[in-house]
Copies of this chain bind each other. A is one copy, B any other.
Amino acid sequence: MSQEIDDLGIGTKFSKRTKRIINSDGTYNINRLGTRKGIKDVFRYLTTVSWLKFFLILFLGYIALNVIFTLLYVLCGTEHISGIDPENGHPIIQTFFFSIQTFTTVGYGGMAPMGIATQSVAAVEAFVGFLSFSLATGLLYGRFSRPTSKLMFSDNLLYTKYRDGHGLMLKIANERNSVLLEVEAMLIATFDQMTEDGEIKKRYYRLPLELNRIEMMTFSWTLVHGIDEESPFYGMTEEDFMKAKPEFLVMIKGFSEVFGQYIHSRKSYTEDDMLWNKKFQAIFGPNEEGVMEMDVRNINLTTDE
């Protein structure tokens, strides 16, 4: 039986219609004010940006820190760096490269610090430099070990024939070449209802699925909610769906062997993502040699009923 749930932490009464709360890809369409950012958020950002951006940020940090230390050396006086030969180029440029050599601990020795001030700056720089690469090591490992779900959802939610009536169906598949174990699914529908007071009340339903857990997802899994008498959608036509402006949230949790931990993934569908009276095509089957084959790009293939 579809269970109406009181709250999803989102609340129920609002004076005007709300835009969709969850975007299609599962991210939230919420302005959060008053949250504090911390170093952890920087770490999180650095572990989630693209690889290109990541290395760019690292490199820019590398250059920036060396510029700062170059200025410190200049303040102490570049004459305290032995081996700086004006014929080799501007002293400040050479100081910059001396800074690089200290920061990375290469330390050729052609240029070397002299005097307490400059040697102290170099001592601090070697410390900061080595520690920076320690930091980069941690970030790199954080990026590698962060489990990414690479779970594909069908673009569409289908309203299709199911048993004696109709059902809502969507499909998930694992993009990665591995299996997900202990896969659990939850489908939640929310839509606005006008109350007698003229207020708009959001209602939430947890829609029962044909199966809400499978032990092993090798290829794909078609999630099915049968629209029986107990479903909140019982008797609704295509126009009724459009008017109710439902938002469907599917939440998947599974154990990834690759990462040795549970991963979560979700996607949101609105009535615009729905297809009517279509059914999914199979995306796997035996090829000529009898070996099972699957093409994940076909996850969205549908045909008329």
Q: Which chain A residues have a beta carbon within 8 Å of chain B's beta carbons? A: 6-11, 14, 16-19, 21, 28-36, 38-41, 43-44, 51, 58-59, 62, 82, 88-89, 93, 97, 100-102, 104-110, 112-116, 119, 122-123, 126-127, 129-131, 133-142, 144-148, 150, 175-177, 179, 181, 183, 186, 188, 210-211, 214-221, 251, 253, 255, 257-264, 282, 284-287, 289-298
Distance between Cα atoms of A51 and B191 in the complex (Å): 46
Residues in B with CB closer than 8 Å to A214 are: 7-9
Residues in B with CB closer than 8 Å to A122 are: 97, 100, 106
Residues in B with CB closer than 8 Å to A106 are: 101-102, 105-107, 122, 126
Output the least CB separation between A167 and chain B (Å).
14
Number of copies: 4
Residues in B with CB closer than 8 Å to A291 are: 18-19, 29-31
Beyond known contacts A101-B107, A141-B141, A255-B262: 7 more, CB 8 A cutoff: A16-B290, A29-B291, A32-B294, A43-B144, A130-B133, A131-B133, A260-B261
Q: Is B97 within 8 A of A41, CB to CB?
A: no
